[in-house]
């Protein structure tokens, strides 16, 4: 049975910079967070430039050891001098031993915070 969750993360990077990095996450995340991502294999679905939202599904890699299905949808909106990233996902755990959704929420929040720190350090 599929589960859903949502998180919101405020970041200091401007909306355009964080949006561009999310669109190119298969390339950017392994560079920005090499301790978390060796590589990323994903299938892009919807990409809505005007509303800075997209959806992607994991199609290969370590995550599929834990989830039969994992689809994420980030949306970026400007907020003050930074941005707000709203991230939602749908997933189906491969077994009952997979950690609960708090693990996913914490991981997502930390991911966007770490990506933000990386982007702030990139000229």
Domain extent listing, the chain: 3-121
Exposed, middle or buried by CB within 10 Å (0-12, 13-18, 19+), for 112? buried
Q: Catalogue the long-range contacts made by 103-106 (C-beta closer than 8 Å, 24 or more residues apart).
A: 104/5, 105/5, 105/7
- 1 band by pLDDT with thresholds 50, 70 and 90: low
> In this structure, what token pair is assigned to residue 114?
């770490």
pLDDT digits (tens, 9 = 90+) for 81-121: 999 999 999 999 888 888 777 888 999 999 999 999 999 99
User: Is 0.85 surpassed by the pTM of this model?
Assistant: yes
- With respect to CATH, is domain 3-121 assigned 3.30.530.20? yes
Q: In this predicted structure, what is the pLDDT of residue 119?
A: 96
Average pLDDT over residues 20-42: 89
């Amino acid at each position: 049975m599929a589960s859903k969750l949502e998180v919101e993360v405020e970041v200091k990077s401007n909306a355009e910079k964080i949006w561009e990095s999310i669109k190119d996450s298969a390339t950017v995340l392994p560079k920005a967070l090499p301790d978390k991502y060796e590589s990323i294999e994903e299938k892009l679905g919807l990409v809505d430039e005007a509303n800075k939202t997209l959806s992607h599904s994991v199609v290969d890699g370590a995550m599929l050891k834990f989830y039969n299905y994992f689809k994420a949808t980030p949306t970026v909106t400007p907020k003050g001098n930074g941005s707000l990233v709203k991230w939602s996902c749908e997933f189906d755990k491969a077994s009952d031993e997979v950690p609960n959704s708090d693990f996913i929420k914490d991981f997502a929040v930390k991911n966007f915070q770490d990506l933000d720190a990386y982007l702030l350090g990139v000229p």
